[in-house]
Amino acid sequence: MHAITIPEPGGPEALVWAEVPDPVPGDGEVLVEVVAGAVNRADVLQRQGFYDPPPGASPYPGLECAGRIVALGPGVTGWAVGDAVCALLSGGGYAEKVAVPVGQLLPVPDGVELTVAAALPEVTATVWSNVFMVAHLRPGETVLIHGGSSGIGTMAIQLAKAVGARVAVTAGSPEKLARCAELGADILINYREQDFVEEVRENTAGAGADVILDIVGAKYLDRNVQALAVNGRLAIIGLQGGVKGELNLGALLAKRAAVTATSLRGRPLAEKAAIVAAVREHVWPLIADGVVRPVVDRTVPMADAAEAHRVLESSTHVGKVLLITPNA
């Protein structure tokens, strides 16, 4: 098969489409013939040499894919060769085939094209696990979503609205904010021109946000705490703005607030399986009913993954960028 390899860390040109050995499914795994993968910020970090795959994972980038099962490993039940699936991965999505633990498989939702389904596993698992399983967003609460036009953001907006929450978003242009509004965002904040702390307070009668989903990290830490409501929950899932920040514990105590930080890729198989099962139970029906939909900015041939990375790093996209294999 062919896969995107990284002979040496570097810029987008470091991604090389090369012939590599086929993976072999182990106990409790299936082999998926990939028709599409999706690009995530973690892939960029891996390409740059800053984010190695977990032990035992595929060396190739790619944290999600869609395709068809072509072989079953020992002990697999409940799935069959030919099933159309999408999958959460620890790596290997930038390839024509990938071995996947059965606990990380999902059926393709009704009404979603197979290639488009590659846009779903990572964002749905990330949003559901952080916003709902950890931060426990409830109907009537306000959630602030940083990077509202990103793949994570576009899914978080829709899921929050689906449960009856009020949604505030930050984005860097009027065009991106308009797209967020189309998805249901109520409070639109241009972070280049507005202070999100002030905007959130003004639009919540001074109360603040009950939940904040943050992809920025250190740069926003202090202001995120300022923007939290009493009993608020800050969920940090990205570090685009740095890894070290100063936390005012007095402000946190005064608000009886909580800060959590999670990653998905390195979690044990059992934890990932529990998250995927929750996504299938709670999110998949919303997608099948058309309440929630994947947002795809563009598709690129997988052999041209470098171009897809340039798009992601330019931050001109809204939603997901997909890589299409010759199997599609």
Rounded to whole angstroms, the Cα distance separating 83 from 107 reads 8
The answer to whether residues 116 and 141 belong to one domain is no
What does each C-alpha distance from 41 to 38, 50, 263, 288 come to in angstroms?
10, 11, 12, 27
- State the pLDDT at residue 76: 98
Strand partners for 211: 143, 233
52-106 residue pLDDT tens:
999 999 999 999 999 999 999 999 999 999 999 999 999 999 999 999 999 999 9
253-308 residue pLDDT tens:
999 999 999 999 999 999 999 999 999 999 999 999 999 999 999 999 999 999 99
The answer to whether residues 231 and 152 belong to one domain is yes
Rounded to whole angstroms, the Cα distance separating 134 from 114 reads 30
303-310: Cβ within 8 A, 24+ apart:
303/2, 303/17, 305/4, 305/12, 305/15, 305/17, 305/39, 305/94, 306/12, 306/13, 306/15, 307/12, 308/39, 309/12, 309/15, 309/39, 309/43, 309/44, 309/47, 310/12
280 domain residue, yes or no: no
The answer to whether residues 185 and 233 belong to one domain is yes
Query: Residue 34 sits in a domain of what CATH number?
Result: 3.90.180.10
Rounded to whole angstroms, the Cα distance separating 66 from 322 reads 10
The answer to whether residues 237 and 159 belong to one domain is yes
113 domain residue, yes or no: yes
Residue 131 has pLDDT above 90, yes or no: yes
104 domain residue, yes or no: yes
169-209 residue pLDDT tens:
999 999 999 999 999 999 999 999 999 999 999 999 999 99
The answer to whether residues 142 and 257 belong to one domain is yes
286, amino acid identity:
L
- Confidence band of 218 (pLDDT split at 50, 70, 90): confident
- Confidence band of 240 (pLDDT split at 50, 70, 90): confident
Query: Residue 164 sits in a domain of what CATH number?
Result: 3.40.50.720
1-58 residue pLDDT tens:
999 999 999 999 999 999 999 999 999 999 999 999 999 999 999 999 999 999 999 9
The answer to whether residues 78 and 18 belong to one domain is yes
Interval 310-325 mean pLDDT: 96
66, amino acid identity:
A
Residue 34: domain span? 2-121+293-324
- State the pLDDT at residue 258: 97
Rounded to whole angstroms, the Cα distance separating 274 from 250 reads 35
Instruction: Name the DSSP letter for residue 256.
Output: T
The answer to whether residues 243 and 298 belong to one domain is no
228 domain residue, yes or no: yes
The answer to whether residues 139 and 256 belong to one domain is yes
- State the pLDDT at residue 78: 96
249 domain residue, yes or no: yes
The answer to whether residues 83 and 144 belong to one domain is no
Strand partners for 65: 37, 87
The answer to whether residues 94 and 145 belong to one domain is no
301 domain residue, yes or no: yes
25 domain residue, yes or no: yes
The answer to whether residues 66 and 33 belong to one domain is yes
- State the pLDDT at residue 227: 98
Nearest alpha-carbon partner for 65 in 106, 109, 20 = 106
| Residue where a domain stops, chosen among 241, 261, 281 | 261
Rounded to whole angstroms, the Cα distance separating 136 from 134 reads 6
Alpha helices in the chain (DSSP H): 41-48, 121-127, 151-162, 174-183, 196-202, 221-227, 249-255, 269-282, 284-288, 305-314
- State the pLDDT at residue 241: 83
Q: How many domains does the chain have?
A: 2
- Confidence band of 236 (pLDDT split at 50, 70, 90): very high
278 domain residue, yes or no: no
pTM for this entry: 0.96
The answer to whether residues 6 and 84 belong to one domain is yes
Beta-sheet pairing, 2-5 with 16-19: antiparallel
Nearest alpha-carbon partner for 3 in 81, 100, 91 = 91
